[in-house]
Amino acid sequence: MRITTVKENEFYIIGIEGDLDASSSIQLDQAIEEAVANKESKIIVDCSQLEYISSAGLGVFMSYIHDFQENNISLVLCQLSEKVRNVFQILGLDELIKIVGTKEEAKTN
Amino acid sequence: MLAIVSWLLILADDITVIKYTQSFIPLYFSDIIVNILLSTFFLFTFLGFKVEIGSKRTGHFNDLLWQVFITGAITVLISLIIKSVGLFSQNDIFFNDPLISNVLYHINIGIITIFLANGFYVWKKMILYQKTKRTDVVWHIFEYLTLLSVVSNFFSFDITDPLFLAFSSPLTILGLVSAFNLKWVAFLSYKQKWRSILLLSLIIIISLSFLERIYEHHITSSLLIDLAENVFIQAIFGFMLLNSIVSLLVLLFNLPTSSVFEQKFGEVMLFQKLHQSLQVGEKEEDMYDMLVSSSMTTVMADAAWLEIRDNNGGLKAFKNSAIDEYDVFEIKKALRKNQINITSEPQYIKDILSYQHTDKIKHLGFKSFLLIPLTSNNQLIGTLVLLKNLHDGFDKEMVDIIFTFVSQASISIKNFRLMSDAIQTERYQEELKIAKDVQRSLLPTSMYLNNSIELSVYSKGAKEVGGDYYDSFELSPTRFAITIGDVSGHGTSAAFHMAQMKGVFQSLITLDLPVDEFMTHANNAIGRCLEKKNFITLSLFIINTETQTIEYARAGHCPAILIDGQNHTASFLDGKGLGLGLSRNGTYKKHINKYELSYKTGDVLILYTDGLVEAHNSSRDEYGYDRLKQLGIENAQNSPKQLIDTIIENVQHFSGSTQFEDDCTLLILKFS
């Protein structure tokens, strides 16, 4: 798995490529932590290249939800494959995390 | 015993003979008897010592020489006392009386024989130390020939007699050959060699004094038995003297090389000591101490330190000897400033003071340094540094020895590490096994609801410990709760979380709450127990067999499938529901719903965990929900047990493996 981070205007964009499982979720955790440390308030996770997400990967998003709500940091996921989106839906996470289609939608939200 | 008896008999015989001589009555037979008795005495004295000394342990050469010397000293003392008594009495008759002089001479014969016998067999022991077949054979021929020479007692020879020479010359040659087997000399330490030289000198003096005594008597007295004409005694004397002198010379010449030999021997012993310390059971820590102290002794270093690094390059152990930790730090700093780094080859610094930046370490007095790396699989695992106050204090031999030494230690350190890794892995696996067993024991072994529900379970744990959970509870004879869930993560923690889930389920279910309320309470309880990153998915069904209705809530778990047995259709029991532990701010209630539906006889309810639908084939396609649903519809008429077999077989066929990557649970209920 590979994590890329790009800054586009006020948006901090994290791109995930490949499988997000127990071993690779640590990298994502570090990337989000870094964004928080940099006082980023608009984080977009680009999932266009994300092929698989395990419960550990979901756990990473989960661990930040409350902190972000309290600190007014927005976290938006975009361009999820149908399979990955289904995982979020089954778990009910789509109610807690904003999930949109395109990156542009993510920016307007 | 026999020897003493013989000696007494000779004595007695002599006295009688002399008495007869005095009375001028010749007795011819006594000559032969005397000779027989003399020979018997010799033989048995020798045999006695052969047995006695033969039983002694070899190796303590000084003790053996000491024994010879003591015997000699005592015998000399006795003969001196006798002589002095004679001198003191100032009696001419005492000397001239053939009877008395003969008796005294006989006592001398006795003690000389004891001295000789003792010496002879001690030499045998020394000569045959680390014997070869050849030396053994030569010695035995010599020994038996010597003993055979006792026979010569029966003939009277003069020393110049050609016959005497003819017999003694082969003896002399064999004795000479044997005398040069001096392997024992090499095994003496420097100190022991000096002691041996002293003892040998004394033994030679004693032997010479005896010899002198014999010849003195030979010339001055008229004797019945003259040892000077005895081939046997001559041979042994000659052999003893020869051997002592040769040994003495060899010892003398060996002295200068002795210290070098001893040092080499010490090194061998050190290697052995090190090797022993490397045996299983010793602590790694002890081996470091051993390595430092042994290396220091071997090269006579004034100080040393050892650094051991772990696999990540961190300092694992540090040992210093005769040097301060702070000074080590300063020295290392100075070495670094001079671009001296540890490589895989040992480095030698003849004089550190010829380098720059050495002001701070000058006062320590160390001049020559030896830096030896410890490597394992070409990876640097540590450094041993030896220091000496001398300029150019290490020679090539020392460097070679220490390098071999350290290589050996490196291998051992590697072995220690492999072993502790293996133990760690084993312990980890043992813990996993316990966790697995605990987890298994939390799952119900048999599930029976009532006669109107046919139920079958398949549950297969992954290689690792997973977190699949299912359980049931009877609320009333016609109302049953059944649940299936999955704890996120794997390993020991998953097993504990599952245990917590079971506790929550078993306590909450007795309250007979509406299913959505149950989930809200469960979420609160689980949210307090689990780490932020962990959560549990759970589905709860309350089945009423009387009204044929199902009330359910789905907290993030994969949706169950209800198959209509008559119409061959199926539906997923999805709907809103957030996993337990995902919302911990008191808003969970908003994210969970309660659903109700009714079923008909012949309908089938399929409950499962994601391990089943996420099973994938080699091209990474997942088995998926639709395949499961379709297979359920096609086989709905079969019993739950048959249906499970069909599904599992199908999934395994799809994934091309009989082993699920994740753990996998399948529960099938058929209503009748």
Residues B20-48: pLDDT tens digits?
444 443 444 456 666 676 777 777 777 78
Of B598, B596, B624, B599, residue with least CA distance to B610:
B624
Partner residue facing A63 (CB), from B532, B555, B579:
B532
pLDDT in the model for residue B21? 47
- Strand extents, DSSP E, B407-559: 453-460, 468-476, 479-487, 536-544, 549-555
Q: Is B403 helix (H, G, I), strand (E, B) or coil?
A: helix
CA distance B260 to B619: 73
Of B196, B247, B234, B243, residue with least CA distance to B67:
B196
The verdict on ipTM greater than 0.90 is no
Q: Is the pLDDT of residue B249 over 80?
A: yes
Q: Cβ B555–A92 below 8 Å, yes or no?
A: yes
Taking the CA of residue A59 and the nearest CA in chain B, the distance in Å comes to 4
- Let me know: does B293 contact B321? Beta carbons within 8 Å: yes
A6 touches chain B (CB under 8 A): no
Q: Cβ B488–A56 below 8 Å, yes or no?
A: yes
Q: Cβ A93–B578 below 8 Å, yes or no?
A: yes
CATH number assigned to the domain comprising residue A11? 3.30.750.24
- Let me know: does B447 contact B668? Beta carbons within 8 Å: no
Q: Cβ B582–A55 below 8 Å, yes or no?
A: no
In CATH terms, is domain B443-671 a member of 3.30.565.10?
no
Q: Cβ B578–A90 below 8 Å, yes or no?
A: no
Q: Cβ A59–B585 below 8 Å, yes or no?
A: no
- Let me know: does A55 contact B535? Beta carbons within 8 Å: yes
Q: What is the domain extent for residue A10?
A: 2-108
Q: Is B518 helix (H, G, I), strand (E, B) or coil?
A: helix
pLDDT digits (tens, 9 = 90+) for B615-660: 888 888 889 999 999 999 999 999 999 999 999 999 999 988 877 7
Greater model confidence, B457 or B237: B457
pLDDT in the model for residue B26? 42
pLDDT digits (tens, 9 = 90+) for B542-568: 999 999 999 999 999 999 999 998 899
Q: Cβ A62–B533 below 8 Å, yes or no?
A: yes
Taking the CA of residue A91 and the nearest CA in chain B, the distance in Å comes to 4
CA distance B596 to B278: 72
Cα dist from B333 to B301, B340, B374, B380, whole Å? 21, 10, 20, 19
Cα dist from B222 to B18, B35, B226, whole Å? 11, 17, 9
Structure tokens at B390: 């001398």
Residue B650: how many CB atoms within 10 A of its CB? 16
Suggest the residue from B468, B487, B488 to mutate for an interface test with chain A (most A CBs closer than 10 A). Answer: B488
CA distance B370 to B335: 12
Q: Cβ B556–A91 below 8 Å, yes or no?
A: yes
The DSSP bridge partners found for residue B605 are B562, B669
Residue B487: how many CB atoms within 10 A of its CB? 29
B527 touches chain A (CB under 8 A): no
| Core vs surface per residue B375-384: b (16+ CB within 10 A) or e | bbeeeebbbb
pLDDT in the model for residue B159? 53
A36 touches chain B (CB under 8 A): no
CA distance A94 to A88: 6
CA distance B353 to B362: 7
Cα dist from A93 to A88, B154, B390, B578, whole Å? 5, 123, 75, 6
- Let me know: does B577 contact B484? Beta carbons within 8 Å: no
Of B588, B608, B594, B448, residue with least CA distance to B525:
B588
> What rounded mean pLDDT belongs to chain B?
81
Suggest the residue from B534, B582, B588, B662 to mutate for an interface test with chain A (most A CBs closer than 10 A). Answer: B582
A59 touches chain B (CB under 8 A): yes
Suggest the residue from A29, A54, A64, A90 to mutate for an interface test with chain B (most B CBs closer than 10 A). Answer: A90
Place of tokens 């030679």: B204
Fold of B278-421: Beta-Lactamase (3.30.450)
A67 touches chain B (CB under 8 A): no
B523 touches chain A (CB under 8 A): no
Q: Is the pLDDT of residue B336 over 50?
A: yes
Residue-wise DSSP of B371-401: EEEEEETTEEEEEEEEEESSTT---HHHHHH
Taking the CA of residue A10 and the nearest CA in chain B, the distance in Å comes to 28
The DSSP bridge partners found for residue A46 are A15, A78
Taking the CA of residue B301 and the nearest CA in chain A, the distance in Å comes to 50
Taking the CA of residue A9 and the nearest CA in chain B, the distance in Å comes to 30
Give the H or E element holding residue B240.
helix B231-277
Q: Where are the domains of chain B?
A: 59-266, 278-421, 443-671
Q: Cβ A92–B576 below 8 Å, yes or no?
A: yes
- Let me know: does B18 contact B99? Beta carbons within 8 Å: yes
pLDDT in the model for residue B591? 92
B36 Ramachandran zone, left/alpha/beta (phi>0; psi -120 to 50): alpha
Q: Is the pTM of this model over 0.90?
A: no
Size of interface A-B (CB pairs under 8 A): 61
Maximum Cα–Cα distance across chain B: 153
DSSP B589: G
B537 vs A contacts (CB less than 8 Å): 90-91
B619 touches chain A (CB under 8 A): no
Nearest CA in chain A to B487: A55
Residue-wise DSSP of B32-69: HHHHHHHHHHHHHHHHHHHHHHHTSPTT-HHHHHHHHH
Cα B470 to the center of its chain, rounded Å: 51
A23 touches chain B (CB under 8 A): no
- Let me know: does A58 contact A94? Beta carbons within 8 Å: no
Residues of chain A whose pLDDT is less than 70?
none
Taking the CA of residue B461 and the nearest CA in chain A, the distance in Å comes to 17
A91 touches chain B (CB under 8 A): yes
Q: Cβ B488–A63 below 8 Å, yes or no?
A: no
Residue B610: how many CB atoms within 10 A of its CB? 22
Number of folded domains that form chain A: 1
Q: Cβ B488–A60 below 8 Å, yes or no?
A: no
pLDDT in the model for residue B22? 44
pLDDT digits (tens, 9 = 90+) for B480-498: 999 999 988 777 788 888 8
Q: Cβ B489–A92 below 8 Å, yes or no?
A: no
Nearest CA in chain A to B580: A91
Nearest CA in chain A to B533: A59
DSSP B354: G
Quick one: average pLDDT of B46-66?
A: 74
Angle, alpha carbons B65-B67-B73 (nearest 5°): 105
A69 vs B contacts (CB less than 8 Å): 585
Greater model confidence, B540 or B10: B540
pLDDT digits (tens, 9 = 90+) for B162-209: 666 676 677 777 777 777 777 777 777 777 888 888 888 888 888 888
Q: Cβ B556–A90 below 8 Å, yes or no?
A: yes
First to last CA, chain B: 112
Q: Cβ B533–A83 below 8 Å, yes or no?
A: no
One-letter amino acid identity for A87? V
pLDDT band at B601 (very low <50, low <70, confident <90, very high): very high
Q: Is the pLDDT of residue B580 over 90?
A: yes
pLDDT in the model for residue B158? 54
Provide φ and ψ at B25, rounded to 5°. -115, 105
Nearest CA in chain A to B575: A90
pLDDT band at B74 (very low <50, low <70, confident <90, very high): confident
Q: Cβ A22–B555 below 8 Å, yes or no?
A: no
Partner residue facing B534 (CB), from A59, A91, A95:
A59
A59 vs B contacts (CB less than 8 Å): 488-489, 532-535
pLDDT in the model for residue B239? 79
Partner residue facing A95 (CB), from B532, B533, B578:
B578
| Core vs surface per residue A47-74: b (16+ CB within 10 A) or e | beebebbbbbbbbbbbebbeebeeeebe
Greater model confidence, B596 or B298: B596
| Burial class of residue B359 (count of CB atoms within 10 Å of its CB; 0-12, 13-18, 19+) | exposed
